[in-house]
Amino acid sequence: MSALVSAARDWIGTPYVHQAARRGAGCDCLGLLRGVWAEVSGTPVLAVPPYTPDWSEPQGDEVLWRGAVKHLRRKAKTDAAAGDVLLFRMRHGAVAKHVGMQAEIGPRPTFIHAYQGHGVRESALTSPWERRLVARFAFPDRL
């Protein structure tokens, strides 16, 4: 199992808290990735500008996608590996604004993510989620 997936599983059960990135105390989907990366890489949690729950939607601005391109390595959507960062559009035509981490690959793929009302959990990467998947990234190789 990848060190990233192992670390992300340690976050399962963390409550959803908008803009937070602290295992056990609270995080949102971006905070989960920021916190896991900080734990595994031994670096401080990457600071991000404040954002609202509907950030970038009214403007149609792909803020999250640009941030992923800046900090992560782009992969083909079909090149699945444990520890990959998954970027989702929650509605057709909307901006990409949800992220998770691939946990299992193969016939029963899963991903770990945080979302409002549920906190951090591992979910099946089912057809409805796969339809929303718009990009796949890998963390930098400097682990």
113 lies in some domain: yes
Q: Which of 124, 105, 54 is nearest to 113 (CA)?
A: 124
Question: Which CATH number covers residue 133?
Answer: 3.90.1720.10
Q: For residue 10, what are the domain limits?
A: 3-138
Per-residue model confidence as pLDDT tens digits over 92-139: 888 888 999 999 999 999 999 999 999 999 999 999 999 999 999 999
Name the residue with higher pLDDT: 142 or 44. 44
> Rounded distance, CA 4 to CA 49, Å?
24
The SS3 assignment for 105 reads coil
pTM given for the model: 0.93
Report H helices in 19-104.
Answer: 29-41, 63-71
79 lies in some domain: yes
143 lies in some domain: no
Say which DSSP state 108 is in.
S
Number of domains in the chain: 1
Q: Which of 68, 10, 13 is nearest to 39 (CA)?
A: 10
